[in-house]
Amino acid sequence: MICLLGLATLGANAAELEAGDRAPDFTLQASDGKTYSLADFKGKQAVVVAWFPRAFTSGCTVECKSLAENGDLIRQYDVSYFMASVDPLEKNIEFAKATEADFPLLSDPTKEVAKAYGVLQMGSFAKRETFYIGVDGTILKVDREVRPDTSAQDMASTLGVLGVARR
């Protein structure tokens, strides 16, 4: 009984983040050679963090290409947007080049930020979830049903519905 109970709770997150919660801060290296911190955007700009399971897998490639090919839709809004994974930085740099990503891919190899966001799956990869974070650092929406092929269009639509300022 104890073993079964332990297995049942192994994959569960302590508490899923929801709209209205304070977004956990992060400082992560990115595929563009820079380091980004959520705190740097507070009071200045909304942020979108699209977690993805693994670089070079089919769904993740489709999602990244959607954002790269249709990023003009997202850039109509006053927002900084990122994809993020627990992949090593070097792998995300290669993935960004292969998909021609014109936005940063964040790397969380320690998995601490993924844990804080409640997206760490089986201790080894992130769930595909997108977090919309307001200028004040509060989560505006969590999309747990991301469609990789229309990710950019869906992101832009959500930004509009949430009332994020246009550029």
> Which residues belong to the active site?
60
Identify residue 7 by its one-letter amino acid code. Answer: L
Contacts of 8 (CB under 8 A, 6+ apart): none
CA distance 71 to 66: 8
| Residue tagged 């639509």 (tokens) | 157
Structure tokens at 137: 């650092």
**Cα–Cα distances in angstroms (integers) from residue 42 to residues 69, 106, 127, 145, in the given order:** 28, 18, 25, 26
Are 37 and 47 within 8 A, CB to CB?
Answer: no
The CA distance from 20 to 4, in Å, is 34
